[in-house]
Chain A
Amino acid sequence: MSTTVESQSHAHGDGHHDHPEYLQHHFDNPAQQESAAKLGMWVFLATEILMFSGLFLAYFIVRSQYPEMVLSAHEQLDWKLGSVNTVVLIFSSLTMALAVRAVQLNNRKQASLMLIITILCACAFMVIKYIEYSSKIEHGLLPGIAYAEHTIVEGTHYAQEGWWGGPQLFFGIYFMMTGLHGLHVVIGIGLLVWLLVKNNRGRFSSEYFTPVENVGLYWHLVDLIWIFLFPLLYLVK
């Protein structure tokens, strides 16, 4: 999945012959290329939103079927870590936006600085995520049959069998939502590093900053999904 994202959002890097070097052969002028790339990115973001919508619907349905289980099960989640993660991600969204602004103003050094901060914030997000996951694994709060491993009655596959709609359902949803979101953060880190490398090589300028803008849009969407994910999973009483 990640390869296509990279190839899609900056498929126009190496133009050739008399046009400006960043212009692709099948486009006629930079404006057409830039608006095509941005529209392509927005349509791609539409598919991301719809993909996550499936998970959000699964969450709301599990919540409507087993309200008290969800409320009791999400006590296990540490909302303080969640809040820190939210702040980290929103801050990285700011620095990403400033990076795009810096490229638009031809300030390459500031752009690189902002990109580095964004990458660091993203890594911090993943570290906090790792801490949360390891504490969950330790307590055995895992999805489905892996739930509460050590309380399994000896000899049976499942936890207490016939135990339907228990916390393992909530943690199934929790791990899928945060897992898929985490995967998108990792893909984002890959893209940002790629941007940083190209920026240091001076590929971007106020003339041509489409890849930076597209990765920025992608990163803001990842932040947007977390903005909805955080209250639903960690906070709602």
Chain B
Amino acid sequence: MATTTVEGHGHDDHHDEKSFWTAKRGLWSWLSTVDHKRIGIMYLVGTMAAFGVAGVLAVLFRIELMTPEIDFFVDGALAGTAEGWAAGKELYNKMFTLHGALMVFVFIVPAVPAALGNFFLPLMLGAKDVAFPRLNLASLYIWITGTVILLFAILMGQLDTGWTFYTPYSSSGTGPVILATVGIFVLGFSSILTGVNFVVTVHKMRAPGMTWNRMPLFIWALYATAVIQVLATPVLAITLMLLLVESLFKIGIFNPEYGGDPVLFQHFFWFYSHPAVYIMILPGFGIVSELIAVHSKKHIFGYKAIALSSVSIAIISFLVWGHHMFVSGQSEFASALFSFLTFAVAVPTAIKVFSWVATLYKGSISWNTPMMYGLIFLFTFTIGGLTGVFLGALSVDVHFHDSYFVVAHFHYVMMGGTVIALLGGLHHWWPKMFGRMYNEKAGLVGAFIVFVGFNLTFFSQFMLGSQGMPRRYAEYLPEFQSYHVASSIGSFILAVGLFWTLFYLVHAIFKGKKAGPNPWGGVSLEWATASPPIEHNFHDTPHVDASPYNFPEIDPDMVEGHH
């Protein structure tokens, strides 16, 4: 069994080498670093902070939604007056807009690619760094600038258009939409630069011997994500520029008052935003492929199928954006076309899920936290994916569009998919990043709480939607209250689970047991260097001559018949 050989002198004299944490000291060494690992850590801290803020907002308006009337957001003085209710609803609208914009543009698009991706792409490729290190740092600063502008716009202004900025509601507004548009315009460039960096790194910086079929599937997923980021985000930039100029000069491309067509804005917007949801989920697929393969010590089932399905999802995702607009006055012909193509993108996703389950067959599955999150991902993402089929069918979508069914669907895919995979990835690579092992029991407890809280929060919203509760409502009919109360209690449990996870992970950084270079027995390159890794990753450039899933435990002659 060929494994990765780190050529050159023996392993012993690496211990005195400093890890990237301690190689350079001082704030300036962090702020001006071009080390992909440090940039990855800074992105991780930033995106997790944004996730925390947006998550707390979600819990706040879940509390509000426990009662049919608007009451939690109505401040005491005006309680009971029409003015109070109006202000309360205004605050609710601002809350869900901030929740949406922060989660989509600030947290989930950069989270996995820029945090874990930045840290592990060069490591798993056997490279010293990404192709353009300074561009990587520029991308981080652009992300910070964009986030500050966006936060300033929403907190200062009256931005209550939802994260989709549909005209003419958004372009008839004044200040806040313009500032928020500039914020997201800047955030888009951070995403483009990460995409350019990853595409070139994967093409040009692979270790000798690592052909395309010997790359870990996490890299394949990041490559497909980078392709989408490069091809879709510029259209978001130009859409926001058109919206900006439209709001300022009232030009009338989107605003019907001046001769524009609001459905046209939806085309421009969703041409970016649907591929963007694949930017969000594909890295999650990559992490799950790693988790399930490493923790069941089995070669991933159908490596080529999963790798190619990542890339085919990346391409087909550009053909399906119209399924967000079936009832928006889009022509029936175009709706039919988009519905058919939407089902084309469902098949590769199904292949992936089947392959992951097949990987478990006859493995040696260790019940640790990363594997638990991998199995939870299979549960929640499958529900998310299957409910997407309802929304892809034309007639059923007429009923479900813009109802809570859609809210439940995309939370099952985004939260149940990307965030659960991110948690799994964090636990899987925590020892490699920080050199310390988290407490296993605490992790399993956290995973269980998150699983229960998540399902309780969002499964009840499927019934809410199909029973007829529209989306983005501050007040609703009394008979929906029971579902909402269940959902709100679920969100409290989920919040407890997530804060608990944050606590023990941070605790592990300082107090955790020392973790060796390869705690899980992984075979891909990142496990071949110290943890935390030295500044330029590998002492000598590694040679790769086998697939990253050739675990020593695989018994070549354990054929079908006997165990």
Binding site for B on A (CB under 8 A): 1, 3-4, 7-8, 11, 25-28, 32, 35-36, 39-40, 43-44, 46-48, 50-55, 57-58, 61-62, 65-66, 142-146, 158, 164-166, 168-169, 172-173, 176, 180
Contact B252 A172 (CB under 8 A): yes
Given contacts A26-B127, A36-B200, contact A172 B245 (CB under 8 A): yes
Pick the contact of A50: B235, B248, B257, B264 (CB < 8 A).
B235
Question: Can you name the residue of chain A whose Cβ is closest to the Cβ of B128?
Answer: A26
Contact A36 B135 (CB under 8 A): no
| Chain B residues with CB under 8 A of A144 | 245-246, 248-252, 258
Question: Can you name the residue of chain B whose Cβ is closest to the Cβ of A172?
Answer: B251
Closest 10 CB pairs of A and B: A144-B249, A54-B238, A165-B259, A164-B259, A172-B251, A51-B234, A26-B129, A26-B128, A50-B234, A36-B204
Per-position binary interface string of chain B over residues 328-366, scored 1 when its CB falls under 8 Å from any chain A CB and 0 otherwise: 000000000000000000000000000000000000000
Contact A40 B131 (CB under 8 A): yes
| Chain A residues with CB under 8 A of B138 | 3-4, 7
Query: Smallest distance from the beta carbon of A180 to chain B beta carbons, Å?
Result: 8
Pick the contact of B242: A36, A48, A176 (CB < 8 A).
A176
DSSP majority for the B interface?
A: helix
Known: A51-B235, A61-B253, A144-B249. 7 other contacts (CB 8 A): A3-B138, A26-B130, A26-B133, A51-B234, A65-B259, A164-B252, A176-B245
Query: Smallest distance from the beta carbon of B336 to chain A beta carbons, Å?
Result: 21
Residues 226-270 of B contacting A (Cβ, < 8 Å): 230-231, 233-235, 237-239, 241-242, 245-246, 248-253, 256-261, 264, 268
B57 within 8 Å of A by Cβ? no
B205 within 8 Å of A by Cβ? yes
| Chain B residues with CB under 8 A of A50 | 231, 234-235
Question: How many Å lie between the Cα of A151 and that of B262 in the bound state?
Answer: 28
DSSP majority for the A interface?
A: helix
Per-position binary interface string of chain B over residues 187-204, scored 1 when its CB falls under 8 Å from any chain A CB and 0 otherwise: 001001101110110011
Question: How many Å lie between the Cα of A158 and that of B234 in the bound state?
Answer: 32
Given contacts A32-B204, A144-B251, A144-B252, contact A55 B238 (CB under 8 A): yes
Binding site for A on B (CB under 8 A): 127-135, 138, 142, 189, 192-193, 195-197, 199-200, 203-205, 230-231, 233-235, 237-239, 241-242, 245-246, 248-253, 256-261, 264, 268, 536, 541
Contact B237 A51 (CB under 8 A): yes
Pick the contact of A145: B130, B204, B250 (CB < 8 A).
B250
Contact A146 B234 (CB under 8 A): no
Pick the contact of A58: B197, B200, B204, B253 (CB < 8 A).
B253
Question: Can you name the residue of chain B whose Cβ is closest to the Cβ of A4?
Answer: B138
Question: Can you name the residue of chain A whose Cβ is closest to the Cβ of B258?
Answer: A164
Query: Smallest distance from the beta carbon of B303 to chain A beta carbons, Å?
Result: 25
| Chain B residues with CB under 8 A of A176 | 241-242, 245
Contact B242 A47 (CB under 8 A): no
Contact A143 B268 (CB under 8 A): no
Question: How many Å lie between the Cα of A35 and that of B246 in the bound state?
Answer: 41
| Chain A residues with CB under 8 A of B253 | 58, 61-62, 169, 172-173
Given contacts A43-B196, A54-B239, contact A168 B268 (CB under 8 A): no
**Most interface-central of B128, B193, B258, B536 (chain A CB within 10 A):** B258
Contact A172 B128 (CB under 8 A): no
Question: How many Å lie between the Cα of A39 and that of B203 in the bound state?
Answer: 9
Question: Can you name the residue of chain A whose Cβ is closest to the Cβ of B34?
Answer: A26
Contact B133 A169 (CB under 8 A): no
Question: How many Å lie between the Cα of A46 and that of B227 in the bound state?
Answer: 11
Contact A143 B251 (CB under 8 A): yes
| Chain A residues with CB under 8 A of B130 | 26
Contact A169 B200 (CB under 8 A): no
| Chain A residues with CB under 8 A of B245 | 143-144, 172, 176
29 residue pairs of the A-B complex, CB under 8 angstroms, read: A3-B138, A4-B189, A7-B135, A11-B133, A32-B204, A36-B200, A36-B204, A39-B200, A39-B204, A40-B200, A43-B200, A44-B196, A47-B231, A50-B235, A55-B242, A58-B253, A65-B261, A144-B246, A144-B248, A144-B250, A144-B252, A145-B249, A164-B257, A164-B258, A165-B258, A169-B251, A169-B258, A169-B259, A172-B249
